[in-house]
Amino acid sequence: MDRRTFLAGGAGATLVALAGCLESGSDGDSDGEEGDDEEEDDYDVGMGASFFRPEEVEVAVGETVVWRNTGNRRHTVTAYEGEIPDDADFFASGDFDSEQAARDAWMDDFGGKIESGEEYEHTFEVPGEYDYFCIPHEASAMVGRVVVTE
């Protein structure tokens, strides 16, 4: 119990530090993204030209991760079926049942697409590491990871 409490406190401190970092980053940002700072900042992962930012997020079991397409191109959020915990649900924008179904749907008619300004969210119920990617930009290494802790 004591150890658990200690770990929880440590995680909280990390979050505070991260928040401060993100705040200062959004002011002096000059990476070419459109300046839409006035929009709500209630998403966890942004999708830019060919990247997820941040590339890795950590959440607790039962928490929801929200992705938002903050760029101008279409993206997907698609789990690597073999790179998520064994007993976890597969997840993908478009709510496909498998990685192959998601890839096929994209090839067919951009199934699962997340347009500019749109969001996708998923709630994580099983602890572990989840690797995911964006189908059209997989070749550009548009990949990310969600770490779910107990």
When the beta carbons of 127 and 136 are compared against Cu ion, the nearer one is: 136
Q: CB nearer to Cu ion: give 50 or 58.
A: 50
At a CB cut-off of 8 Å and minimum separation 6, what does 117 contact? 68, 69
Site for Cu ion in 1-60 (CB under 5 A): none
Q: Which two tokens stand for residue 83?
A: 């790179």
Phi, psi of 17 (to 5 degrees): -65, -40
> With contact defined as beta carbons under 8 Å apart, do 95 and 111 qualify?
no
* Contact in structure between 16 and 8 (CB atoms under 8 Å): no
Radius of gyration for the chain, computed over Cα atoms and rounded to the nearest angstrom = 16
CB of 92 to Cu ion, least distance (A): 13
Q: How far is the CB of 87 from Cu ion (least distance, A)?
A: 28
- Contacting residue, 45, 71, 75, 94, with Cu ion by CB under 5 A: 75
Among 142, 143, 146, 148, binds Cu ion (CB under 5 A): 142
Please, which residue, 74 or 130, has the CB nearer to Cu ion? 74
Report the DSSP beta bridge partners of residue 122: 65
Q: Fill in the per-residue mask, 121 to 140: x = in contact with Cu ion (CB under 5 A), - = not in contact.
A: -------------x--x---
Distances (CA, A) of 101 to 18, 89, 120: 36, 14, 18
CB of 11 vs Cu ion, minimal distance in Å: 30
Residues lying near Cu ion in the complex (CB under 5 A): 75, 134, 137, 142
